[in-house]
């Protein structure tokens, strides 16, 4: 039987966030208890978003000469010095991904100016970058943070990453903590593949292979849709395309990204090796029935006292569609835990 929902008032919530105590538990929708169903359902349930709100577009220059596009939603009453939050999507996503749009809208309603980052070649940045994005491009996040600081130098800054974007956020936080801006206050990583090698190797079950082939096809399609990446596409993919993410990473991501192999790319790009060095208060949200990220790849990793790991018994991958009347304004439990962490933590 599911545990009863804990009803925390604002003071209790702030204390739980400050001390690292457990967050409000997730209660799945009665028909969506399976991790696969949660994962699929969340992709189709949009909820409130920023589509009806005006967004400014910024082109950000990256250290290697490439560029990416960021969408900026500024609340009506926002003034310089008020908080800003950067959001980074996952594999084959964009600034328009439903979770990005929903959470940006909720943060806007609470006075946060939000910047939804399109990773290289994604969203409105399609065709703009010479080199593809990957899980280790933490310098890209750093470049966007620096750019945002020029727009609002006095504002506290938060960063949020989802799935692959969550790994990038964690890697950025831990690889050179001394260089992070003083205005950086809080971070969140949702379902991050912090050990890329283990996550890729886990996709060997019959169901796992379905996800593996699906994302390999999406990555291949993204490469085909980007003329500047055509020279990187192996000849053997002209008839069949990559069968696995591992194959895509071994034959395209690794050589183009300057890695010796997929294994070298996974080793250098995984946030697992730097979780112990993170000093910024950081929340990691994940679930035990995530079909893409085995819980062992994150739960057993050493991490600093600044990192609070919350493992939900259910939720799938970026799912967390809850039951009605669970205490949140809508069914999107994940959204409200991100909002709580960024707006209530001190």
Q: With respect to residue 10, please indicate whether it lies within any of the assigned structural domains.
A: no
Q: With respect to residue 14, please indicate whether it lies within any of the assigned structural domains.
A: no
Where in the sequence is the domain holding 126, given as residue range(s)?
24-195+270-344
Find out whether 71 and 146 touch, Cβ atoms under 8 Å: no
* Domain-terminating residue out of 237, 269, 301: 269
User: Residues 206, 154: one domain?
Assistant: no
pLDDT surpassing 70 at residue 276: yes
pLDDT surpassing 90 at residue 129: yes
Q: With respect to residue 226, please indicate whether it lies within any of the assigned structural domains.
A: yes
Q: Could you report the per-residue pLDDT of 95-111, keeping only the tens digit for each?
A: 999 999 999 999 999 99
pLDDT surpassing 60 at residue 19: no
> What is d(CA 199, CA 91) in angstroms, rounded to the nearest whole number?
13
pLDDT surpassing 80 at residue 64: yes
Q: What is the CATH number of the domain that holds 101?
A: 3.40.50.1820
Q: With respect to residue 7, please indicate whether it lies within any of the assigned structural domains.
A: no
User: Residues 171, 203: one domain?
Assistant: no
Measured over the CA atoms of residue 260, residue 218, residue 88 and residue 307, the dihedral's sign is negative
Identify which of 2, 67, 1 has the alpha carbon closest to the alpha carbon of residue 333.
2
User: Residues 134, 28: one domain?
Assistant: yes
Question: Given this model, what pLDDT does residue 53 score?
Answer: 63
pLDDT surpassing 90 at residue 63: yes
If one counts every other C-beta atom within 10 angstroms of the C-beta of residue 17, the result is 23
pLDDT surpassing 70 at residue 4: no
- Give the C-alpha distances (Å, rounded to integers) separating 296 from 76, 160, 175, 278: 43, 22, 22, 20
Q: Could you report the per-residue pLDDT of 146-165, keeping only the tens digit for each?
A: 999 999 999 999 999 999 99
Q: With respect to residue 131, please indicate whether it lies within any of the assigned structural domains.
A: yes
> What is d(CA 45, CA 269) in angstroms, rounded to the nearest whole number?
31
Q: Could you report the per-residue pLDDT of 209-244, keeping only the tens digit for each?
A: 999 999 999 999 999 999 999 999 999 999 899 999
Instruction: State the DSSP code for 8.
Output: -
Rounded to two decimals, what is the model's pTM? 0.92
> What is d(CA 170, CA 311) in angstroms, rounded to the nearest whole number?
17
Find out whether 209 and 243 touch, Cβ atoms under 8 Å: no
Distance of alpha carbon 117 from the chain centroid: 10
Contacts of 242 (CB under 8 A, 6+ apart): 216, 217, 219, 220, 248, 251, 252
User: Residues 159, 265: one domain?
Assistant: no
Q: With respect to residue 34, please indicate whether it lies within any of the assigned structural domains.
A: yes
User: Residues 39, 56: one domain?
Assistant: yes
Counting the structural domains of the chain, the total is 2
User: Residues 161, 306: one domain?
Assistant: yes
User: Residues 44, 168: one domain?
Assistant: yes
Question: Given this model, what pLDDT does residue 21 score?
Answer: 45
Mean pLDDT of the chain, nearest integer: 91
Question: Given this model, what pLDDT does residue 76 score?
Answer: 92
User: Residues 100, 220: one domain?
Assistant: no
User: Residues 179, 321: one domain?
Assistant: yes
Q: How confident is the model at residue 18 (pLDDT cuts 50, 70, 90)?
A: very low
User: Residues 126, 264: one domain?
Assistant: no
* Domain-terminating residue out of 238, 269, 300: 269
Q: With respect to residue 282, please indicate whether it lies within any of the assigned structural domains.
A: yes
Question: Given this model, what pLDDT does residue 325 score?
Answer: 76
Question: Given this model, what pLDDT does residue 36 score?
Answer: 92
* Domain-terminating residue out of 227, 254, 269: 269
> What is d(CA 137, CA 132) in angstroms, rounded to the nearest whole number?
10
Q: How confident is the model at residue 46 (pLDDT cuts 50, 70, 90)?
A: low
User: Residues 128, 201: one domain?
Assistant: no
> What is d(CA 244, CA 73) in angstroms, rounded to the nearest whole number?
36
User: Residues 260, 131: one domain?
Assistant: no
Q: What angle do CA 168, 133, 128 make, to 5 degrees?
A: 135
Torsion of CA 76, 82, 88, 94, to 10 degrees: 10
> What is d(CA 40, CA 290) in angstroms, rounded to the nearest whole number?
11
């Amino acid at each position: 039987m599911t545990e009863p929902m804990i009803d925390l008032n604002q003071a209790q919530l702030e204390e739980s966030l400050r001390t690292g105590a457990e967050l409000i538990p997730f209660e799945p929708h009665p028909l969506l208890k399976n991790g696969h169903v949660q994962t699929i359902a969340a992709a189709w349930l949009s909820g409130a978003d920023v589509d009806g709100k005006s967004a400014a577009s910024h082109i950000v220059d990256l250290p290697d000469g490439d560029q990416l596009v960021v969408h900026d939603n500024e609340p009506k009453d926002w003034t310089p010095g008020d908080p800003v939050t950067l959001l980074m999507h996952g594999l084959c996503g964009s600034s328009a991904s439903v979770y990005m749009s929903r959470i940006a809208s909720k943060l806007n309603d609470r006075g946060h100016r939000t910047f939804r980052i399109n990773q290289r070649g994604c969203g409105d940045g399609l065709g703009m970058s010479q080199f593809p994005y990957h899980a280790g491009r933490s310098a890209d996040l750093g470049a966007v943070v620096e750019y945002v600081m020029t727009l609002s130098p006095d504002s506290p800054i938060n960063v949020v990453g989802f799935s692959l974007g969550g790994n990038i956020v964690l890697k950025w936080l831990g690889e050179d903590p001394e260089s992070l801006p003083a205005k950086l206050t809080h971070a969140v990583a949702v379902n991050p593949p912090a050990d890329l090698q283990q996550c890729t190797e886990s996709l060997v079950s019959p169901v796992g292979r379905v996800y593996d082939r699906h994302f390999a096809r999406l990555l291949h399609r993204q490469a085909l849709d980007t003329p500047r990446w055509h020279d990187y596409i192996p000849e053997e993919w002209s008839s069949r395309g990559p069968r696995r993410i591992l194959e895509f990473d071994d034959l395209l991501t690794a050589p183009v990204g300057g890695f010796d192999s997929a294994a070298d790319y996974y080793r250098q790009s995984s946030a697992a090796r730097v979780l112990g060095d993170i000093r910024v208060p950081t929340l990691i949200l994940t679930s035990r029935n995530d079909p893409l990220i085995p819980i062992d790849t994150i739960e057993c990793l050493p991490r600093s006292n600044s990192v609070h790991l919350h493992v939900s018994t259910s939720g799938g991958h970026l799912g967390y569609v809850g039951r009605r009347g669970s205490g949140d304004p809508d069914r999107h439990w994940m959204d409200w835990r991100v909002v709580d962490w960024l707006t209530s933590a001190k």
